[in-house]
């Protein structure tokens, strides 16, 4: 199953990380001598809907997480009426955003076009804060 990340900010961050590899810890610098730890073998960057072939199962990690705009919203609008799809909200959602709204399991949602459609996709929430420390993240990952 193809895995994508769709976040301009994440892509820029990866460039910064690679630029300053000599500032990383010993383990990362040693790994970089073997292979670039910031080039993912099984995860591809997705720039936009025009670069995405929606022909089968896939995993897309897209921003912004509040689902108000951008690629995450475009994907939501395209997929929300299909019960085979799932949206995972991975963190805090602000009141008044689509992400917060779908956590209340509404029967319908309003697309960016203004059209109301049934929400058939599954919606799940996991608490995955960018502010988690090592212990919290390790427990989440079961390391």
Token pair belonging to 65: 């997480």
Token pair belonging to 54: 């929606």
Q: Is 124 assigned a catalytic role?
A: no
How far apart are alpha carbons 27 and 2 in whole angstroms? Answer: 28
> Given 42, 101, 124, 131, which residue is catalytic?
131
CB of 46 within 8 A of CB of 71?
Answer: yes
Helix/strand/coil for 89: strand
CB of 88 within 8 A of CB of 124?
Answer: yes
Residue 96 gets the label, from left (phi > 0), alpha (psi -120 to 50) or beta, of: left
Active site residues: 131
């Amino acid at each position: 199953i193809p895995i994508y990340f769709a976040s301009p900010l994440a892509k820029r961050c990866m460039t910064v990380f690679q630029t300053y590899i000599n500032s990383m810890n010993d383990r990362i610098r040693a790994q970089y001598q073997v292979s670039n730890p910031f080039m993912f073998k099984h995860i591809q960057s997705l720039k936009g809907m025009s670069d995405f072939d929606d022909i089968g199962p896939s995993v897309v990690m897209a921003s912004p997480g509040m689902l108000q705009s951008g690629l995450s919203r475009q994907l939501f609008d395209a997929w929300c009426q299909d019960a085979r799809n799932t949206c995972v909200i991975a963190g805090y959602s602000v009141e008044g955003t689509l992400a917060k709204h779908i956590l209340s399991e509404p029967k319908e949602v309003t697309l960016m076009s203004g059209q109301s459609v049934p929400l058939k996709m599954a919606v799940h929430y996991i608490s995955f804060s960018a502010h988690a420390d090592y212990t919290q993240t390790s427990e989440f990952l079961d390391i």
